[in-house]
Copies of this chain bind each other. A is one copy, B any other.
Amino acid sequence: MAIRIFITGGTFDKEYNELNGELFFKDTHLPEMLKLGRSRVPVDIRTLMMIDSLQMTDTDRELIARHCNETEAEKIVITHGTDTMVDSAKKLAELVKGKTIVLTGAMIPYKFGSSDGLFNLGSALAFVQTLPVGVYVAMNGRWFNWDNVWKNKKTGEFEEAR
């Protein structure tokens, strides 16, 4: 069965508005990225929202959880801003059972050339195919259980909680 990919926004999908110098969201770049990676993994992509994760509310998180529960897919990748990725992972662990859910994101927008997004997407798709049921964060080439991860704001890297 195809892997479900839910798009929620985050740095991953931000673009540069050359008229005012600000970052904004237009469309997701996931299909373009999967094509670049020559991915042949069967996926269904659906955009749930396009927001900065600092703007994400509990209502948004419940919406994501509902979509995870309603899809027939048992393996789900969620693209998400890194700032509150851990909060969403916790919420999903609480509300969704019996599925393998992997959240991933990027520190640099895909469109900026020097992005970590393609690397992260490759690893997230691999982790979701191989990890058992549970909710995980996939960043920096590693995977973390939802209850054992935090983002180090000084380095921008994800680490085990202590």
Contact = CB atoms under 8 A, between A and B. Distances in A.
A113 B112 contact: yes
A54 to B, nearest CB: 9
Contacts of A18: 11, 107-108, 156
Interface string A139-151: 1111100000000
Contact of A156 (B38, B120, B158): B38
Contact of A140 (B38, B138, B156): B38
A66 interface: no
B126 A122 contact: yes
Q: Could you say which of A11, A21, A115, A138 has the most chain B C-beta atoms within 10 Å of its C-beta?
A: A21
18 contacts: A16-B109, A16-B112, A18-B107, A19-B154, A21-B52, A37-B118, A37-B120, A39-B119, A39-B140, A40-B142, A118-B119, A118-B122, A122-B124, A122-B126, A122-B141, A123-B123, A124-B126, A129-B143
